[in-house]
Amino acid sequence: MQLCAVLSKFAPQTVLMMNNDLHNSRNHQEKQCTLVGMTSDVSLSVLKIATGIIGHSSAILADGIHSISDTVTDALVYAMVRLSGKGVDERYRYGRGKYETLAAFLISIILVVVAIGLMTEGLQDVWSALHGNTLERPHNIALVVGIIAIIVKEGLYQYTRFTGRKTGSPALKAYAWHHRADALSTAATLMGVAGAMFLGETWRILDPLAAVAVSLLILVLAYRMGRPAVEELLEVSLPQEEQNKIADIVNGTDGVKAFHNLRTRRNGNLRVVDMHIKVDGELSVTQSHDITRAIEQQLSDALGDVMTNIHVEPYHGHNHCEKNNS
């Protein structure tokens, strides 16, 4: 009895420690990935700005200034990942996963602002070129730096996307698309630079036209990142496919007669599932507990990180209140 009392006293702290241990490894990978991106973005920004000035390329210079926003995004993601990595404690009983969701939403906003800025500048340059103004021919070094930047950014996209999928981090998934958007922006700039260098003055309008096209693509990417982040912050239910999977698992668990009041939502990479299940009223507390543990284990195997809150009720036979997921 004394042993049980001691275990009962320290059980909540033990659970918190186990949950935090699961977060530590994943959070380390997330922080390492963000630091790699931050170091690369700072280096690329300095390289592009220096090349733009030395190589007389306004396009590369503008792209370098645009890359400065990447360092701000890097710092934002790193801060949010550090906060979310603190795991579960007495104040944050559901963890800090929504810090990453907030980061994904803020990144989408930054992308919208950047896209609108690129589109405005591009349209202004197109208007200027159509009225007879000639863009200056850039130096060859601008072409080389542009190619290097695209290779680095695409590599960062693949690395961050892989890490985001591995850790389930919404912030890293959004961050990966930010790298891809920057690579596309640099590619558009490079097309303009190449056109200005090899196709003559008439084709220098390719630079602003490509910038406008890429800005539209960046807006689409921002929407793809921002929508799920907003839905999670508003606590929209899990997709119907996942809810159906939950229903199949619960209905297929031995001892469950019916269930209702299913409520679901996401919290970062964590799925939160609340429900009421109905079991034989003659079962013992231990037997009812074993049923809930079986449900929790199956949900975890099927969906990944899951936090469940299962309320057990006695089953009194079929009536209009006892439906499977009402």
What type of residue is 144? V
Contact (Cβ atoms closer than 8 angstroms) between residue 248 and residue 311: no
Residue 255 has pLDDT above 80, yes or no: yes
Q: Would you say 94 and 208 are in contact if contact means Cβ atoms under 8 Å apart?
A: no
Task: Kindly report the three-state secondary structure assignment for every residue of 269-301.
Answer: CEEEEEEEEEEECCCCHHHHHHHHHHHHHHHHH
Most confident segment among 59-68, 89-98, 139-148, 202-211: 139-148
Which of 233, 251, 284 is the endpoint of a domain? 233
Q: What is the pLDDT of residues 262-306, one digit of tens each?
A: 999 887 767 889 999 999 988 999 999 999 999 999 998 888 878
Contact status, residue 38 vs residue 71, Cβ threshold 8 Å: yes
Q: Is residue 252 part of a domain?
A: yes
**In the chain, how many domains are there?**
2
Decide if pLDDT at 5 tops 50.
no
H or E element that contains 312:
strand 306-315
70-123: pLDDT as tens digits: 676 667 666 666 666 666 667 766 666 677 778 778 878 887 887 788 788 778
pLDDT digits (tens, 9 = 90+) for 125-166: 778 777 767 666 667 787 888 888 889 888 988 988 888 888
Which of the 8 DSSP states describes residue 203? G
Residue 321 lies in a domain: no
Residues found in the chain: 326
The percent of residues in the chain predicted with pLDDT above 70, rounded, is: 72
Q: Are 29 and 23 in contact (CB under 8 A)?
A: no
Strands 306-315 and 258-267: unpaired
Assess whether 164 and 301 both reside in one domain: no
97 and 162 belong to one structural domain? yes
219 and 108 housed in the same domain: yes
User: Is residue 62 scored above 60 in pLDDT?
Assistant: yes
Are residues 251 and 216 part of one domain?
no
Same domain, 228 and 244: no
Tokens found for residue 196: 């200005």
Q: Report the alpha-carbon distance of residue 112 to residue 117 in Å, rounded.
A: 9
Domain span at 271: 240-315
Same domain, 130 and 25: yes
Mark which of 233, 261, 277 sits at the end of a domain: 233
As a whole-number percent, the residues of the chain with pLDDT over 90 amount to: 16
Report the DSSP beta bridge partners of residue 264: 273
More confident residue, 188 or 179: 179
Confidence of residue 258 (pLDDT cuts 50, 70, 90): very high
| Model pLDDT, residue 320 | 41
The tally of CA atoms less than 13 A away on the side-chain side of residue 28 is 5
Show which of 233, 254, 271 is a domain's final residue. 233
195 and 303 housed in the same domain: no
Rounded to two decimals, what is the model's pTM?
A: 0.61
Confirm if 135 and 202 have CB atoms less than 8 A apart.
Answer: no
User: Does residue 325 form part of some domain?
Assistant: no
- Do residues 211 and 285 share a domain? no
